[in-house]
């Protein structure tokens, strides 16, 4: 018995079209966390027959697209690769694409229509990721934005000159509040509401918080997380610690941490709690403290794998920065006698105590998971960083005495 699709009620057909053609359902997670998501639209249904084409086209048009154009091809690559912003399409298909609600045109004085243009199309849902990436780039490379011009063109791609609803205008324009100190900025098209434009320009005019303000905020959030940890409210503690990382321009996504705006912290602090210290120095100390607190929270939650992952990742990165040797293991001969740990502890590493806590707490997670040699190695390293901690020193003595060195 054949199935007659067009005999289904219109509302059922409409639901099916949206299932097939919406951005949400076309989005696929990346194979690797460092890559952006991808979009794969099955447009074959548009070619089925005239009636289905007419009906399904409306479902596809319900997607909200943003077109980004620039004279620099490397900028398009940067947005996708470094910014991990998913693309709908890029290249000639993007350059000829007309069904966008917002056109983002980025160039610089002296660079204009004479130059070749490069475009990409993204979903509205990914626009905040794009503007956040732009914000981080400007902070990392101080003085980038004063050399750039931004033109935003708002339109209804399906009904020319139709006013776009306020809620949609806000979703399309508010993310650009993060893009500050531009050489010039202009807004065009589709009857932009004065209240929406005013809110956008007000946010653009609000300066970025100074490094010392970011560090103060992160410290406050860290302390709030510690209180939640003591109160055994572990999910809230983790959220506070995640927000503390974000306050100093480090984003946490699952098991990944992405560090941004290093150049922004290359200065001395002139006010507040950390007056007289270097911003990058204080930021490093806070990063180590937050990792130690993440591990402690996971231990309390008995999430041994997460505790070990966060600890091991930080230990491996720290060891690599000191020795230049890249190795994932923590139970090999390389760590025999822990020469690198002794050397770094002797150099007065600023977050030495918190690094010791990371080593000790990672050892506890490794122990729970049955990694006996790793546990032993980490306890010995923790004892180097925490020479006055009686618990760590007692554990070290017991572990060394009890370990079966001949297996």
pLDDT value at 62 more than 50 = yes
How does residue 400 score in pLDDT terms, banded at 50, 70 and 90? Answer: low
- Beta bridge partners of residue 67, listed in sequence order: 103, 121
How does residue 206 score in pLDDT terms, banded at 50, 70 and 90? Answer: very high
Note the pLDDT tens digit of each residue in 275-306. 999 999 999 999 999 999 999 999 999 999 99
- The pTM of this model reads 0.84
Q: Regarding beta strands 118-123 and 65-70, do their DSSP bridges make them parallel or antiparallel, or are they unpaired? A: antiparallel
In angstroms, the CA 97 to CA 223 distance is 49
The residue-averaged pLDDT of 161-171 equals 91
Q: Which residues contact 228 (CB under 8 A, 6 or more apart)?
A: 234, 236, 237, 240
Lowest mean pLDDT among 2-16, 180-194, 245-259, 290-304: 2-16
Residue 207 vs residues 129, 135, 275, 306: alpha-carbon distances, Å: 20, 12, 21, 37
Note the pLDDT tens digit of each residue in 66-119. 999 999 888 888 888 777 899 989 989 999 999 999 999 999 987 755 567 899
Note the pLDDT tens digit of each residue in 322-336. 777 666 665 554 455
Q: How many helices (H) and strands (E) does the chain have?
A: 16, 10
Note the pLDDT tens digit of each residue in 7-26. 778 788 888 878 887 888 88
pLDDT on residue 115:
63
Q: What percent of the chain has pLDDT over 70?
A: 90
In angstroms, the CA 215 to CA 106 distance is 32
How does residue 1 score in pLDDT terms, banded at 50, 70 and 90? Answer: very low
- Helical residues (DSSP H) of 231-326, grouped into ranges: 234-247, 279-300, 304-323
pLDDT on residue 219:
97
Nearest to 144 by CA among 281, 261, 267: 261
pLDDT on residue 82:
75
Terminal alpha carbon distance of the chain: 70
How does residue 169 score in pLDDT terms, banded at 50, 70 and 90? Answer: very high
pLDDT on residue 81:
78
Higher pLDDT, 295 or 44: 295
The residue-averaged pLDDT of 223-248 equals 97
Q: Which residues contact 395 (CB under 8 A, 6 or more apart)?
A: 360, 363, 379, 383
Contacts of 48-51 with C-beta under 8 Å, sequence gap 24+, read 51/6
3-state secondary structure of 140: helix
Q: What is the DSSP string of 64-122?
A: -EEEEEES-HHHHHHHHHTS----SEETHHHHT----SEEEEEE-TT-STTSPPEEEEE
Q: Regarding beta strands 184-188 and 118-123, do their DSSP bridges make them parallel or antiparallel, or are they unpaired? A: unpaired
What number of other Cβ atoms are within 10 A of residue 76's Cβ? 19
Lowest mean pLDDT among 212-216, 229-233, 385-389: 385-389
pLDDT value at 401 more than 80 = no
Nearest to 308 by CA among 360, 263, 381: 360
Nearest to 308 by CA among 319, 287, 294, 322: 294
For the chain, the average pLDDT equals: 87
Lowest mean pLDDT among 39-48, 166-175, 324-333, 341-350: 324-333
Q: Which residues contact 50 (CB under 8 A, 6 or more apart)?
A: none
pLDDT on residue 111:
73
Q: What percent of the chain has pLDDT over 90?
A: 52
pLDDT on residue 162:
82
CA angle, corner 386, sides to 216 and 389, nearest 5? 105
Lowest mean pLDDT among 24-38, 63-77, 184-198, 269-283: 24-38
pLDDT on residue 129:
93
DSSP, res 39: E
pLDDT on residue 334:
45
């Amino acid at each position: 018995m054949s199935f007659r699709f067009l005999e289904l009620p219109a509302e059922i057909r409409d639901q099916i079209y949206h299932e097939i053609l919406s951005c949400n359902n076309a989005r696929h997670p990346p194979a690797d966390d460092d890559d952006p998501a991808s979009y794969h639209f099955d447009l074959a249904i548009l070619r089925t027959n005239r009636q289905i084409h007419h009906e399904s086209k409306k479902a596809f048009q319900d997607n909200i697209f943003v077109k980004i154009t620039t004279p620099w091809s490397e900028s398009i690559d940067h947005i996708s690769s470094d910014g991990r912003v998913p693309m709908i399409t890029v290249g000639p298909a993007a350059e000829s694409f007309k069904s966008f609600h917002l056109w983002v045109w980025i160039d610089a004085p002296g660079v204009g229509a004479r130059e070749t243009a490069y475009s990409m199309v993204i979903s509205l849902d990914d626009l905040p990721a794009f503007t956040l990436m732009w914000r981080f780039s400007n902070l990392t490379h101080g003085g980038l934005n004063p050399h750039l011009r931004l033109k935003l063109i708002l339109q209804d791609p399906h009904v020319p000159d139709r006013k776009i609803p306020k809620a949609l205008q806000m979703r399309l324009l508010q993310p650009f509040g993060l893009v500050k100190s531009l050489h010039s900025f202009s807004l065009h098209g589709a009857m932009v509401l004065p209240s929406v434009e005013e809110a956008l320009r007000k946010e653009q005019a609000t300066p970025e918080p100074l490094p010392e303000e970011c560090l103060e905020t992160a410290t406050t959030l860290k302390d709030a997380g510690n209180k939640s940890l003591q109160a055994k409210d572990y999910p809230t503690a983790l959220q506070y610690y995640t927000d503390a990382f974000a306050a100093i321009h480090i984003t946490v996504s699952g098991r990944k941490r992405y560090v941004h705006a290093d150049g922004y912290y290359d200065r001395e602090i002139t006010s507040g709690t950390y007056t007289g210290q270097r911003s990058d120095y204080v930021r490093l100390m806070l990063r180590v403290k937050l990792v130690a607190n993440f591990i402690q929270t996971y231990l309390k939650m008995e999430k041994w794998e997460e505790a070990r992952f966060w600890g091991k990742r930080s230990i491996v990165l720290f060891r690599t920065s000191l020795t230049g040797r890249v190795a994932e293991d923590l139970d090999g001969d390389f760590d025999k006698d822990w020469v690198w740990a002794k050397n770094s502890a002797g150099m007065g590493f600023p977050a030495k105590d918190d690094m010791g806590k990371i080593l000790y707490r990672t050892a506890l997670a490794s122990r729970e998971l049955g990694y006996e040699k790793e546990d032993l190695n980490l306890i010995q390293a923790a004892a180097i960083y925490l020479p006055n901690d009686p618990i760590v020193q007692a554990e070290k003595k017991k572990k060394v005495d009890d370990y079966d060195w001949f297996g």
